[in-house]
């Protein structure tokens, strides 16, 4: 009987986890599950976890502490609850999670999600604690049920105007600070035909904007309908022709794979939005080499010049790490200088966090937290001023906004500019899912305010 059991999914980490969470809950639908946002009524609770920094990984354990109580109360009412840890902590720690958190019934790594229904069933019927972190398996997407077979779409993103679509998984770059190559495995690109099909399915659900995802999305090289490997630029052009799709984005890119044809797509493909997230991590070449980033600061500057000449209004975003082992004050100043010279519309910055099993964690000269915090503060001050300046520069312009959701205040709707800024305006609910010109009347640190010009 469909719809009698409930699944609750909580997602941590990157957009790829958001996408995986949707696919996981969809995969349970044929087995009678519907998604719930009330954790107490869930028969299956999934924590889709992130291992990228220590803080991210620790969140899982504090969440599990909370779940113990919920599971106990449900048991007293005669109800069984399968508590599942998925995602990158599952992959990295495997059976250790069962030892550390007795409340957990099932540990499932990102390469095993197509086995989720079976594992949930076994955990329920056999009352066993199970671990499945088999690795690597590259074709989970083809083994997950077709997205069309669902009887009821889960709430949330599936009805939204904007959706994620994972086109590439894994990473072969092995930056010395990063766990992703260990938790997500080798690079794998999904075939073009599958992606076009899935894009069509998303559009039939009302999606107007698709963000193509990959840990190294611009290294995409999936097999095309002609049997050859297609680049991300070629995939973007093919998706650009899909009827009903209005906007395309992609994330996250590595500077090394920012090819000329992809840069040209920013000039030529009208549906590709003028926004690029391109992490540079550090401004000093010695640190970049120790990070195994495979590019210098000068390479990055040259790349940005090229991208800006192809698409002058492009909004740039980046990731930066401060306090990598051995980073001197002078080297940190080089990071600030690079930020100053380039000017970012948006940025994410982090204190270096040593991760088990990565080469950088074993390096000498680990820096004290106080130095990392102080550098992060200076960097974030600069980045915030750049974001504000960029937002302010939009005041007075008329910008097309894709409206996606209702705002917190009555009569308010919220959407995104081409540059990914949230834009708040007063407007009718039936504008959701449409791209409407908005005159920007105000700017805050992280969003814009505007007046709808025409419907
Ligand atoms: N694939 C992407 C990003 C992956 S993780 C890329 O290549 O850029 C997202 C960001 O987390 C990274 O860009 C990096 O800035 C940050 N990060 C990764 N590992 C980290 C660590 N050990 N400590 C601090 N920040 C880290
Ligand atoms: Fe991690 Fe580097 Fe791969 Fe990005 S490119 S996922 S930072 S190893
Ligand atoms: Fe975190 Fe895994 Fe994504 S470590 S950032 S959830 S790939």
150 found inside a domain: no
Tell me, what's the pLDDT at 35? 94
Same domain, 295 and 440: no
**Where residue 438 sits, what CATH number does that domain have?**
2.40.50.140
Give nearest CA residue, ligand 3 atom 7.
180
pLDDT digits (tens, 9 = 90+) for 82-137: 999 999 999 999 999 999 999 999 999 999 999 999 999 998 887 788 888 886 55
Last residue of a domain, one of 353, 373, 393: 393
| 232 closest CA partner among 187, 201, 202, 200 | 187
The percent helix, strand, coil of the chain (3-state, each to 5) is 40, 20, 35
CA–CA separation, 362 and 131 (whole Å): 28
Tell me, what's the pLDDT at 170? 93
The model's confidence at residue 152, banded by pLDDT at 50, 70 and 90, is very low
Same domain, 161 and 135: no
The pTM is what? 0.93
Q: Does residue 254 carry a pLDDT above 80?
A: yes
Same domain, 317 and 406: no
Tell me, what's the pLDDT at 139? 64
Mean pLDDT of 60-69: 93
Give nearest CA residue, ligand 2 atom 1.
178
Round the CA-based radius of gyration of the chain to a whole number and report it.
22
**Where residue 346 sits, what CATH number does that domain have?**
3.80.30.20
Q: Tell me which residue has tokens 């800006």.
A: 308
Lowest mean pLDDT among 84-88, 157-161, 168-172: 157-161
**Where residue 133 sits, what CATH number does that domain have?**
3.40.50.12160
Tell me, what's the pLDDT at 144? 74
The model's confidence at residue 158, banded by pLDDT at 50, 70 and 90, is very low
Mean pLDDT of 141-153: 61
Ligand 1 centre and the CA of 178: distance in Å?
6
Which residue out of 9, 13, 60, 170 has the highest number of ligand 3 atoms within 8 Å of its CB and is therefore the one to mutate? 13
Q: What is the mean pLDDT of the chain?
A: 93
- Quick one: which atom of ligand 3 is closest to the CA of 16? 3
Same domain, 36 and 92: yes
Hey, which of 56-60, 99-103, 388-392 has the most confident mean pLDDT? 388-392
Same domain, 380 and 439: no
Tell me, what's the pLDDT at 221? 97
Same domain, 130 and 22: yes
Q: Does residue 156 carry a pLDDT above 60?
A: no
- Nearest ligand atom owner, CA of 93: 3
Q: Tell me which residue has tokens 């974001």.
A: 387
pLDDT digits (tens, 9 = 90+) for 195-207: 999 999 999 999 9
Same domain, 280 and 232: yes
Tell me, what's the pLDDT at 151? 42
Same domain, 359 and 286: yes
CA–CA separation, 85 and 101 (whole Å): 10
| DSSP 8-state code for residue 223 | B
* Cβ neighbours of residue 344 closer than 8 Å, sequence gap 6 or more: 316, 317, 318, 383, 386, 387, 390
Task: Give yes or no for a contact between 183 and 228, defined as CB atoms under 8 angstroms apart.
Answer: no
Same domain, 383 and 407: no
- Quick one: which atom of ligand 1 is closest to the CA of 348? 15
More confident residue, 441 or 126: 441
168 found inside a domain: yes
Q: Tell me which residue has tokens 């505007």.
A: 450
CA geometry: angle at 141 spanning 64 and 61, to 5°?
Answer: 10
Same domain, 241 and 111: no
Ligand 2 centre and the CA of 110: distance in Å?
17
Q: Does residue 155 carry a pLDDT above 70?
A: no
Q: What would the two tokens of residue 340 be?
A: 């100053």
Tell me, what's the pLDDT at 89? 96
The model's confidence at residue 334, banded by pLDDT at 50, 70 and 90, is very high
Ligand 1 centre and the CA of 437: distance in Å?
35
Tell me, what's the pLDDT at 160? 84
Count: domains in the chain: 3
Tell me, what's the pLDDT at 129? 87
Tell me, what's the pLDDT at 3? 54
Which residue out of 54, 279, 352, 375 has the highest number of ligand 1 atoms within 8 Å of its CB and is therefore the one to mutate? 279
pLDDT digits (tens, 9 = 90+) for 12-42: 999 999 999 999 999 999 999 999 999 999 9
Last residue of a domain, one of 393, 412, 430: 393
Gap between the terminal Cα atoms of the chain? 43
Q: Does residue 1 carry a pLDDT above 50?
A: no
Ligand 3 centre and the CA of 171: distance in Å?
11
Same domain, 137 and 163: no
| 7 closest CA partner among 38, 50, 30 | 38
More confident residue, 159 or 95: 95
Tell me, what's the pLDDT at 134? 82
- Nearest ligand atom owner, CA of 13: 3
101 found inside a domain: yes
147 found inside a domain: no
Q: Can you give the residue range of the structural domain that contains 387?
A: 155-393
More confident residue, 396 or 145: 396
433 found inside a domain: yes
Same domain, 175 and 75: no
Tell me, what's the pLDDT at 137? 52
Mean pLDDT of 282-290: 98
Last residue of a domain, one of 348, 374, 393: 393
The model's confidence at residue 273, banded by pLDDT at 50, 70 and 90, is very high
- Nearest ligand atom owner, CA of 350: 1
């Amino acid at each position: 009987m469909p719809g009698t059991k409930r699944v609750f999914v909580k997602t941590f980490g990157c957009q790829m986890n958001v996408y995986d969470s949707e696919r996981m809950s969809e995969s349970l639908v044929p087995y009678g599950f519907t998604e719930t946002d009330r954790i107490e009524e869930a028969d299956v609770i999934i924590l889709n976890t992130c291992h990228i920094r220590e803080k991210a990984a620790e969140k899982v354990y504090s969440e599990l502490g909370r779940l113990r109580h919920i599971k106990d109360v449900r048991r007293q009412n005669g109800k069984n609850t399968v508590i599942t840890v998925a995602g990158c902590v599952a992959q990295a720690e495997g059976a250790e999670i069962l030892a550390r958190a007795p409340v957990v019934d099932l540990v499932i790594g990102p390469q095993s999600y197509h086995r989720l229904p079976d594992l949930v069933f076994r955990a329920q019927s056999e009352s066993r604690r199970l671990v499945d972190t088999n690795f690597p398996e590259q074709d989970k997407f083809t083994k997950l049920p077709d997205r069309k077979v669902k009887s009821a779409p889960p709430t949330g993103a599936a009805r939204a105007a904007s959706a994620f679509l994972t086109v590439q998984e894994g990473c072969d770059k092995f930056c010395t600070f990063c766990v992703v190559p260990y938790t997500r495995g080798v690079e794998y690109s999904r075939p073009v035909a599958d992606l076009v099909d899935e894009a069509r399915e998303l559009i039939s659900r009302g999606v107007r904007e698709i963000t193509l995802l990959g840990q190294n999305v611009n290294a995409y090289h999936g097999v095309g309908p002609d049997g050859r490997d297609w680049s991300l630029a070629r995939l973007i052009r093919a998706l650009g022709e899909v009827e009903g799709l209005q906007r395309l984005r992609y994330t996250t890119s590595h500077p090394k794979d920012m090819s000329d044809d992809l840069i040209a797509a920013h000039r030529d493909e009208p549906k590709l939005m003028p926004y690029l997230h391109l992490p540079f991590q550090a401004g000093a070449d010695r640190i970049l080499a120790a990070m195994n980033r495979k590019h210098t600061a000068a390479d990055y500057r040259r790349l940005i010049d090229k991208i800006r000449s192809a698409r002058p209004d492009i909004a740039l975003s980046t990731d930066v790490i401060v306090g990598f082992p051995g980073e001197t004050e002078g080297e940190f100043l080089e990071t600030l200088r690079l930020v100053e010279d380039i000017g970012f519309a948006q940025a994410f910055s982090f204190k270096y966090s040593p991760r088990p099993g990565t080469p950088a964690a074993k390096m000498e000269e680990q820096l004290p937290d106080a130095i990392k915090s102080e550098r992060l503060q200076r960097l974030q001050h600069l980045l915030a001023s750049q974001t504000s300046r960029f937002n302010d520069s939009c005041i007075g312009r008329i910008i097309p906004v894709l409206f996606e959701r209702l705002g917190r205040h009555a009569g308010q709707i919220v959407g995104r500019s081409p540059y990914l800024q949230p834009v708040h305006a007063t407007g009718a609910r039936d504008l959701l899912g449409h791209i409407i010109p908005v005159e920007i009347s105000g700017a805050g640190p992280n969003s814009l305010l505007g007046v709808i010009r025409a419907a």
